[in-house]
Amino acid sequence: MRIDKLDVYYVVMPLIYPWRTAYGEDRDIHSVLVKATSGEWEAWSESTPFFAPTYLTESAGSVFYHVSEVFGPYVVGREYETAADLNARLDVFKGNSFAKAAIEIGWWALASRISGTPLHRLLGGRTREVVAGADFGIQDSFDMLLGNIQQAVDAGFPRIKLKVAKGWDLDMLQVVRKAFPDFTFHIDCNSGYTLEDLPFFKAIDGLGLAFIEQPLHFADVLDHAELARQIETPICLDETIVSVRAAEQAIRTKACRYINIKPGRIGGLSNALAVDDLARDAGIPVWVGGMLESAVGSAICVELATLDNFTYPGDLFPSSRFYTRDLADPPLEFSPGNVFQPFTDDLPVPNPEQLEQCTLRHQSVVPGT
């Protein structure tokens, strides 16, 4: 497959309600959409590292720059028979997983369209329902949080993720567990703690959490391994798993018992599949994570989550959870039972009017640019 052209869009999507985590607050989601063209075929990808490098070291601005000015010109005008061929071409560049993913996922989406094969089938998944969990960021009050949890429980969600940060952690969790003694919860620390906070982690051992997601510094496998030795609650790694090698090291050091796989963070779908293989062989379940993408990126996550080792309910949301109107058509919607169906026809694509309204910058990349 020859990549003839890349159209790169920096978009800003207003949220219905601010998303608050240990690293701050987002009122808009800054994302990068890429339209890849091969002959008469077009396909879309999305990479969403947020406005500032708070989640990891990339931002929407850096992804837009690297795809449009560095990586894109380096890959267009060439044939890539496999995604591995494309990744080999990109390997000369260090890091920048979200930027690489924006291009690599486009290759997979093109391959799906050209072959007429649903993306989840190309990835090795099955046409099966994908179960989603409910997630809540830091709320304005305990009462607000408890009300939202009750709505999620009543709606039949199988588990709930709670964002925590210092000042919104132990007291909040004790209140939640008292109100919902038997429900499945896990927490997400977004790297907001250190080993000095061991008393906090020991204190929540008795709360019966499914796991603690990314408690410590994003680049520190060794400290996560040490924490895992000292507490009973399983650890799940998210921000730490930025490459296949990082996953190998985490598994080897027993730093985690779960892995969250996000296609953007891991550098694309090929790396996501490789990490899933490693985790499966080690007996570690995985689950798909989202970055509040539009339906373009969220649909990719649904397709990935059809693989057999994705057993924990994913961070997948209907478009209406965060956006008054999704940038893409069709919007992502639940089927009965809070599940998503994989796409057997074309994946969602940006609505031209919505894309124009949300676009901050656009650049085309063709051979010779």
Q: Crossing angle of helices 83-90/97-115, nearest 10°?
A: 160
User: Active-site residue 163, yes or no?
Assistant: yes
User: Active-site residue 262, yes or no?
Assistant: yes
**Catalytic: which of 163, 178, 202, 254?**
163
**Catalytic: which of 35, 100, 161, 262?**
262
The Cα 346–Cα 52 span in angstroms is 32
Q: Which residues are annotated as catalytic?
A: 163, 262
